[in-house]
Amino acid sequence: MKKIIYFIIAATIVGGLWSQVHALNDNASGKPDTSASAPASPELSTPSASPSEPIEVEEPEASAPESTPTPTPEEKPSGKPSEPSEPSEPSKPPKPSKPSKPSPNDDYDFGQIISPDDLPAMTIEHKGGIDVITNPKSLYVLANKKRNLPSDYVPPDLVVPDVPFSFSGDSPKKKMRKAAADALESLFQAAKDDGIELKAVSGYRSYATQKAIFTANAEKKGEDVANKTSARPGQSEHQTGLAMDISSASVGYALEETFAKTKEGKWLAAHAADHGFIIRFLKGKEKITGYSYEPWHVRYVGRDVAKEIARQKITLEEYMDEAAEVIAR
């Protein structure tokens, strides 16, 4: 009888243990415990989760790479508090650049004014050891220390302009070529209208006359010094009939640099181009022209050329260089 009792007790204990293991497995899988097995004895039972509070198992999610957020300008990483930055110095305004040399006007058409036949390179030939000009009749003829007029050249259309002169009587030096003479009359009338009194001093000079003038100056000053203020025969613009020396009573009608500071000299420099004349020998351009500054010596080249030369403040030599470059393109 005792053996039967012991068997029943052992079977009860084993069954209780089995039911507990089964319940734990069911709880781990999320299923409620539905077993109807008898409860085990308090001493042998293991505490388990209550059926009313099932254990939730989170589904694993795909992990994304973690990125470290970049602080915005307003945000700063934690650490020592940042010190206030010092205000930056105000930027200095840029220095004004020096005005560049004026360039040829984009609207200025050299080709419609200067013929290729008038370009210096096309108007010279070597004769008797010197370079002789082949276009002396051109209004754009370039005569200088490197370019000699023919010794027998006399302009064919010389006339005396109707303007006041600093001397009386007839003289070849009152003459100019017709186009230049007409322009000189216009220039003098404009000066008179502005209350400026000018007088013509010296226009056309023949090759022989220029030779006599240069020889006299060379004997007084020496050839090198004389050649800074007077041209050798054949190199003078006066022989072209397109030049005129102009002065005023304020300097005793003398041909000197002080004329530039007079109201008459200033007016002439400002208005000569309006009538087709240029101040031929500019200040600061002595290395190009070969002569000292002569504010009294004007040369006729026509309004288009004169205004462009005056705008750029260049010499006739520089103008011709530009013309040759543009026409060659």
Task: Please state, in angstroms and rounded to a whole number, the distance separating the CA atoms of residues 214 and 230.
Answer: 6
Burial of 269 (0-12, 13-18, 19+ CB in 10 A): middle
Tell me the sheet residues that pair with 293: none
Q: Is the dihedral of CA 135, 136, 142, 147 positive or negative?
A: positive
Q: What is the CATH number of domain 118-328?
A: 3.30.1380.10
Quick one: pLDDT at residue 45? 41
User: In residues, how long is the chain?
Assistant: 329
Burial of 231 (0-12, 13-18, 19+ CB in 10 A): buried
* Residues with pLDDT less than 70, the chain: 1-104, 106
Backbone phi, psi, residue 309, to 5°: -65, -40
Quick one: pLDDT at residue 328? 86
Compute CA distances 268 → 103, 174, 198, whole Å: 24, 19, 9
Give the domain ranges of the chain.
118-328
> Do 143 and 237 contact (CB within 8 A), yes or no?
yes
pLDDT tens-digit readout, 315-329: 999 999 999 999 888
Quick one: pLDDT at residue 59? 42
Quick one: pLDDT at residue 185? 98
Quick one: pLDDT at residue 12? 62
